[in-house]
Amino acid sequence: MKLHYFILLYLAISISSRSHFAQSENDGFSIELIHRDSPKSPYYNPALNQRQLMNNVFQRSINRANYLMPKSQLSTSLIPDINGVFLTNISIGTKPCAKLVVVDTGSDLIWIQCQPCIHCYQQKNPIFNPKNSSTYKSIPCNSTLCKNLRGSSCDRKKKTCLYFAGYIDNSFSFGDLASETFTFDDSTNITRPDRLSFPNITFGCGRRNHLNVGDVEPTGIIGLGASPYSLVSQIKSTFGHKFSYCLVPFYQLNVSSKLNFGEKAVPSSSKFVVSTPLFLKPPKVFYFLKLLEISIGNKTIQFHNTSKNVHEGNIAVDSGTTISFLPTQIFSEMKTIMKSEIKLNPLTRNDTQFFQLCYQDLRISDVPSVIFQFQDAKVKLNAINSFVHIGDGIVCLAFAPTKHLPIFGNIAQTNFFVAYDLDEMIVSFKPTNCDKL
């Protein structure tokens, strides 16, 4: 009854002997995703017990949810929080070496730390030096890429574009907007992975950088948002404007999850697949769905849409938030119904700290069915999507109240093949044993 949660997005990529440009491929590729709390992660802390780990996860989810407030969308910040759940190692330039980066569906711009660094935080890998790469190119001030990027400015002396990525948690990156070759290992063939190189990827070459992410010090960030500067948008001419992921449960974190692009981002069959419209709101960084109601057992909670425009999404779908967040009143109704449906006595809050509804030795058969009715799509959650094990036989409801933006988090998405099609503007869900992919 445990569960993969936290989606800082971690990806690990190994060095391969075969290398070619991605333009020669047309069926897509897959990348290994490693959760930050996995034993495979460089930030794995074996000293933490399950309770400590879950408390940390919940606190990070709260921080993330607070940063995803609607008011943040009025800021010039590119993303309100950089504290994600998954990372990846990517290779950059003509003398590539692995760089550990956050991968996040709630970000748009790609940036990494660069030499010469005026102010950089410490990282485990060598900082990228553009002088060692023949494919590095600065982007001029008068280019469309520069003019359309929020927060851009111009180095008048060099006539090259500058970028600024600001975050509500006071993290930031500032430096040169440039293009470079990015290389990934395709994990589709485990025994002999292909290396896929993408030339002319626009990214921020950070000369001044600061992160407030605690123990995680990645090289930078890979955005999977819908803006033209995200990775998925920059490779769409080759693989189409689509991506997907399949996240393993938390108790299987020694098994890798997958991030897919191109045709590999499409569910293998249409059986059991449900699709719902995808909505974007300025600054087109976060993805939104329209939630109509939540069914728990035989009871239904109407999801009140506070938006004046009924055609807009009312809940963000975010791989970087572990716990799901619902409006306070709706969460209160959910908790009341859960308590009436589960024939066990809940634990007191003193025993569970952050979580608001917990049980000792809860069985899968004790958990009522939970269905999220999105527009045109009924997504039925399993017990591992609704409850999470926090240690000592205690299982807690994996939802929390919020006065800000509702979020469909990654625990709710565990063991679903979640596919984003940004041409058709839909997201699809297919129940899947993600550890078998």
Active site residues: 104, 318
Through-space distance between the first and last CA atoms of the chain, rounded to whole angstroms:
21
| Structural element, H or E, at residue 204 | strand 194-210
Q: Which two tokens stand for residue 304?
A: 């009140």
Q: Where are the alpha helices (DSSP H) in 68-209?
A: 144-148
Q: Which two tokens stand for residue 147?
A: 């003019």
Q: Which of 161, 160, 175 is nearest to 210 (CA)?
A: 175
Q: Which of 377, 134, 165 is nearest to 285 (CA)?
A: 165
Q: Which two tokens stand for residue 3?
A: 């569960």
Q: How far apart are CA 102 and CA 171, in angstroms?
A: 14
Q: Which of 277, 257, 359, 212 is nearest to 36 (CA)?
A: 257
DSSP secondary structure string for all residues of 145-177: HHHHSTT-EEETTTTEEEEEEE-TTS-EEEEEE
Q: How far lies 107's CA from each of 228, 361, 423, in Å?
A: 11, 38, 19
Task: Give the torsion through C-alpha atoms of 87, 93, 94, 99, to 10 deg.
Answer: -30
Q: What is the Cα 156 distance to its own chain's centre?
A: 36
Q: Which two tokens stand for residue 212?
A: 């407030």
Q: How far apart are CA 118 and CA 209, in angstroms?
A: 9
∠ CA(175), CA(61), CA(426), 5° rounding?
80
DSSP 352: T
Rg over CA atoms, the chain = 21
The three-state secondary structure class of 190 is: coil
Q: Which two tokens stand for residue 13?
A: 């990529």
268 Cβ neighbours under 8 A, 6+ residues apart: none
Position 323, amino acid: I
Q: How far lies 161's CA from each of 135, 293, 334, in Å?
A: 17, 46, 50
Q: In what order do the strands lie in the sheet with 299-302?
A: 299-302, 291-296, 370-374, 377-381
Q: Which two tokens stand for residue 176?
A: 């040169």
